[in-house]
């Protein structure tokens, strides 16, 4: 989220977030934009909860607020001001002090100090530091001798989404996650978590990536070529991962 704010000017930020309700609506969209899954029972359907923008599971009635399990969980001050802290902390080139934040937002300095620390910690964890340069995404079947068919489920095989960050001629970061299928929702969830919206993303021509062109403005889809010829680093990364896994788990 901090990355998404980086491209906004203060003026645009003000327009996008005029009040706390717009912040809640933004968090709800971020959380459930690709569908709802109940944290308690895994059910996939929800209705409106009692509090604004919350969702209630239609199976077990568990209610989740848009702020639950986010940076804004149990924040005791105005959510809009918390959003401003995230904005100022993530956009200022020079580190903004809690005294400055306190003055700008009419909040207690201690409050600003504590929340700023939380924001900075979140920015440091890799999940919140998405790839913004050159990225490649592919998915591969693990746990079988032969290559599986995309989108088809097999109990012993696992479909794994792999994302790499390329720097010069090597790979600087690699993310991998087991995904339920190769549809655009599963792939998109993985990609949005690890890759920034304006990164140069390269994928093959698999249709699951097509709808994601609207989320990643610089996404290009190219033929993978014979034996992944157009994706040499990715091809090698997947081979290495498979080799490593075979060594660790003999049954894979």
- For Zn ion, the binding residues (CB under 5 A) are 38, 40-41, 43, 57, 59-60, 62
**Cβ-based nearer residue to Zn ion, 57 or 219:** 57
Question: Could you tell me the smallest distance in angstroms from the CB atom of residue 43 to Zn ion?
Answer: 4
Question: Could you tell me the smallest distance in angstroms from the CB atom of residue 68 to Zn ion?
Answer: 14
Question: Could you tell me the smallest distance in angstroms from the CB atom of residue 62 to Zn ion?
Answer: 5
Question: Could you tell me the smallest distance in angstroms from the CB atom of residue 23 to Zn ion?
Answer: 25
Compute the distance between CA of residue 21 and CA of residue 175 in angstroms, rounded to an integer. 34
**Cβ-based nearer residue to Zn ion, 7 or 58:** 58
Angle at 48 between CA 79 and CA 64, to 5 degrees: 55
Beta-sheet strand order (sheet of 134-142): 170-179, 158-167, 134-142, 200-203, 220-221
Question: Could you tell me the smallest distance in angstroms from the CB atom of residue 125 to Zn ion?
Answer: 28
Q: Look at residues 137, 115, 154 and name the one whose alpha carbon lies nearest to residue 2.
A: 115
**Cβ-based nearer residue to Zn ion, 60 or 205:** 60
**Cβ-based nearer residue to Zn ion, 57 or 137:** 57
**Cβ-based nearer residue to Zn ion, 7 or 61:** 61
């Amino acid at each position: 989220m901090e990355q998404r704010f980086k491209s906004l000017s203060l003026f645009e930020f003000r327009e996008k977030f005029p009040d706390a309700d717009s912040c809640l609506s933004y968090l709800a969209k971020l959380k459930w934009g690709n569908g709802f899954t109940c944290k308690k029972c895994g059910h996939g359907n929800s209705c409106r909860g009692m509090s604004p923008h919350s969702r209630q599971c239609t199976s077990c009635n568990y209610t989740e607020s848009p702020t639950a399990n986010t940076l804004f969980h149990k924040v005791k001050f105005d959510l809009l001001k918390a959003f401003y802290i995230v904005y100022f902390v993530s956009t200022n080139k020079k580190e903004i002090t809690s005294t400055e934040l306190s003055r700008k937002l009419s909040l207690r300095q201690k409050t600003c100090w504590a929340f700023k620390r939380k924001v900075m910690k979140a920015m440091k964890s890799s999940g919140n530091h998405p790839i913004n340069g050159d990225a490649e995404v592919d998915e591969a079947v693990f746990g079988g001798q032969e290559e599986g068919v995309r989108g088809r489920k097999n109990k012993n095989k696992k479909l794994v989404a792999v994302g790499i960050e390329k720097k010069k001629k090597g790979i600087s970061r690699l993310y991998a996650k087991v995904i339920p299928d190769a549809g655009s929702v599963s792939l998109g969830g993985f990609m949005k978590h690890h890759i920034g919206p304006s990164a140069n993303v390269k994928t093959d021509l698999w249709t699951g990536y097509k709808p994601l062109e609207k989320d990643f403005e610089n996404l290009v889809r190219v033929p993978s070529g014979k034996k992944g010829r157009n994706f040499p680093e990715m091809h090698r990364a997947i081979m290495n991962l498979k080799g490593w896994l075979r060594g660790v788990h003999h049954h894979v």
